[in-house]
Amino acid sequence: MGICYVIGAGDFGDGPLEPGTEDLVIAGDGGFRHCRERGIRVDLAIGDFDSLGYRPEAPEVVALVPEKDDTDMVAAVEEGIRRGYRDFRIYGGTGGRLSHTIANLQMMAGLATRGIRAELVGCGTRIWVIRNGEIRFPAEARGYLSVFCLGDAAEGVTEEGLKYQLDGYRMVKENPLGVSNEFTGIPSRVAVQEGTLLIIQEERTC
């Protein structure tokens, strides 16, 4: 199974996006406009299409009612999961309305509890959420890396290969100790034994 690319209506982030034949591309409402402007194929368009302003033409279109519990982004991701995908790249999920960015971070926390990998791609920014696991970065990774606790506490937090290191640290949500760490030109990793971490890589500001 390939990657499920989900395109939202927020800031598109860093490209290019070049899906393969095994990948699925889902445009959530106004994300269809991003795809059309950049020549990205759309396999499925989903949403209430209030942001887009019209019903798009795509191989598959799922129209949602405006009065719904889930955001268009959540609906798009859940449709990808229903089709068997477990690895997601989300574009257009940051910028715009802050409330929608926070909603996407909460969605990613929920995905992490289900063992589903998701990466939120912003402008100069990559965001992940991990639970009871780890994430590794290659030696060529650049920029700042910030680690935050999602939940009351995260036990056994380890940061290796970074400028500031941790070993078995107990991280709590009230203390942003993990902000603005730095890559050092060697392979690095962040791990947590028990709990959920929000991880943000920032290579530049936009």
Q: pLDDT by residue (tens digit) across 51-93?
A: 888 888 888 898 888 777 788 899 999 999 999 999 999 999 9
User: For 115-158, how does the pLDDT look when each residue is reduced to its tens digit (9 = 90+)?
Assistant: 999 999 998 999 999 999 999 999 999 999 999 999 999 999 99
- Alpha-carbon distance of 88 to 82, in angstroms, equals 13
Q: List the one residue out of 181, 155, 180 whose CA is nearest residue 167.
A: 155
Kindly report the pTM of this predicted structure: 0.91
Question: Cβ(195)–Cβ(169) under 8 Å?
Answer: no
Q: Which two tokens stand for residue 118?
A: 């998701």
Cα 194 to Cα 12, 131, 189, distances in angstroms: 33, 7, 16
Q: List the one residue out of 78, 82, 72, 69 whose CA is nearest residue 10.
A: 72
Task: Note the pLDDT of residue 50.
Answer: 82
